[in-house]
Amino acid sequence: MSNILRMILSSILLFSGILVIWVSVFGVFRFRFVMNRMQSAAMIDTLGLFLILTGLMVVSGELSVILKLVLILLFQWVGSPIASHMVGRLEVSVDPDLREHVVFERHEEDT
């Protein structure tokens, strides 16, 4: 019984992860502006990876495998948003047509 429950749970997680990744890949090719593409690509490394790895954790059920997968998840969650941040920052720095796409909101401490 618990095995069947585990398989159902893990397949739900894995398929939703695949769905998220599919939608993100579609967005990367469909969007025209860099920031939208960057956000769409960042979804793969955060939400998609989280769902897939959680599904794999549920499948395996061994503590050592779960800990390794948690480490991979942490590493990706620290590293991948930095890459997106750098892409966005480069775009803000060099694109002269930025104002057509983006509205700036200023905070008090920035000015």
Partner 1 sequence: MKKFKEWLRDWDEGTFDFTIDTAAAGNEESTVSESFEKTALTDLENREFRLFSRAFPITAVILASVMIVFLLSAVMRLPAFGSPHTPPAESVTIQRYIENGLSETGAINIVAGVILDYRAFDTLGESHVLFAAAAAVFILMASARRRPESPRDQAILRDDPILRNTTKVLVPIILLFGLYVIFNGHLGPGGGFSGGSIIGGGLIMYEMSYGPTRLQRVLNLKTYKITVLVSLLFYSIAKCYSFFCGANSLHTIFGPGTPGRIFSAGLILPLNMVVGIVVSCTLYGFYALFMREQI
* Interaction site with partner 1 (CB under 8 A): 75, 78-79, 82, 85-86, 89-90, 92-94, 96-98, 104, 106, 110-111
Pick 1 or 82: Cβ nearer partner 1 = 82
Give me the least distance between CB of 84 and partner 1, in Å please. Answer: 11
Q: Which two tokens stand for residue 40?
A: 């769409």
First-residue to last-residue Cα distance in the chain = 60
Q: Is 31 helix (H, G, I), strand (E, B) or coil?
A: coil
Give me the least distance between CB of 12 and partner 1, in Å please. Answer: 27
Pick 8 or 90: Cβ nearer partner 1 = 90
Closest by CA position to 13, among listed 43, 54, 44: 54
DSSP H helical ranges for the chain: 2-30, 34-43, 49-60, 63-94
Pick 4 or 109: Cβ nearer partner 1 = 109
Give me the least distance between CB of 83 and partner 1, in Å please. Answer: 10
